[in-house]
Amino acid sequence: MALSRRDQLPPLNPTRVFEATGRLLSVTKAADELCVTPAAVSRQVRALEVFLDVKLFNRIHGRLELTPAGARYLADITPLFAALLAATRSVQSSIGNRALLRIRSPATFAVRWLIPRLAGFHQANPTIEVQLSTSSAPLDLKHEDVDAGVQLGDGSWPETHSQQLIANLLVPVTSPSYQRATQLVRSEQLQQEVLLHTMARPDDWALWFEAVGLDTARAYSGMKYETSLLAYQAAIEGHGVAIAQKSLVAKELADGTLVTPIPFELDCGKHTYYFVWSTRRPQPPALSAFCAWLLNVDW
Q: Which residues pair with 173 in a beta bridge?
A: 242
Q: How many CB atoms lie within 10 A of CB 155?
A: 18
The secondary structure of 230-257 as a DSSP string is HHHHHHHTTS-EEEEEGGGGHHHHHHTS
Q: What span, in angstroms and rounded, lies between the C-alpha atoms of 270 and 25? A: 35
pTM of the model: 0.67
pLDDT tens track, the chain, 299 positions: 455 556 688 899 999 999 999 988 899 999 998 999 999 999 999 999 999 999 999 988 878 889 989 988 988 888 787 777 766 766 665 555 568 899 999 989 998 999 989 989 998 998 898 988 888 888 888 878 889 999 999 999 999 999 999 999 999 999 999 999 999 999 999 999 999 999 988 999 999 999 999 999 899 999 999 889 899 999 999 999 999 999 999 999 999 999 999 989 999 999 999 999 999 888 889 999 999 999 888 76
Which is it for the CA torsion 66, 68, 70, 72, positive or negative? positive
At residue 284, the pLDDT reads: 86
CA distance 61 to 45: 20
- Rg (alpha carbons) of the chain, rounded to whole number: 25
- Answer for the pair 228, 212: CB distance below 8 angstroms, yes or no: no
At 187 the pLDDT is 94
Residue 73, phi then psi, degrees to nearest 5: -65, -40
C-alpha–C-alpha distance, residues 91 and 70, integer Å: 31
Give the span between the Cα atoms of 284 and 299, in whole angstroms: 25
Q: What is the DSSP letter of 298?
A: -
| CB-CB contact of 248 with 149 (8 Å) | no
Q: What is the pLDDT of residue 113?
A: 93
pLDDT at 9: 83
DSSP 8-state code for residue 7: G
C-alpha pair distances (Å), 138 with each of 105, 155, 157, 226, 276? 10, 13, 11, 15, 11
Contact between 279 and 160 under an 8 Å Cβ cutoff? The reply is yes
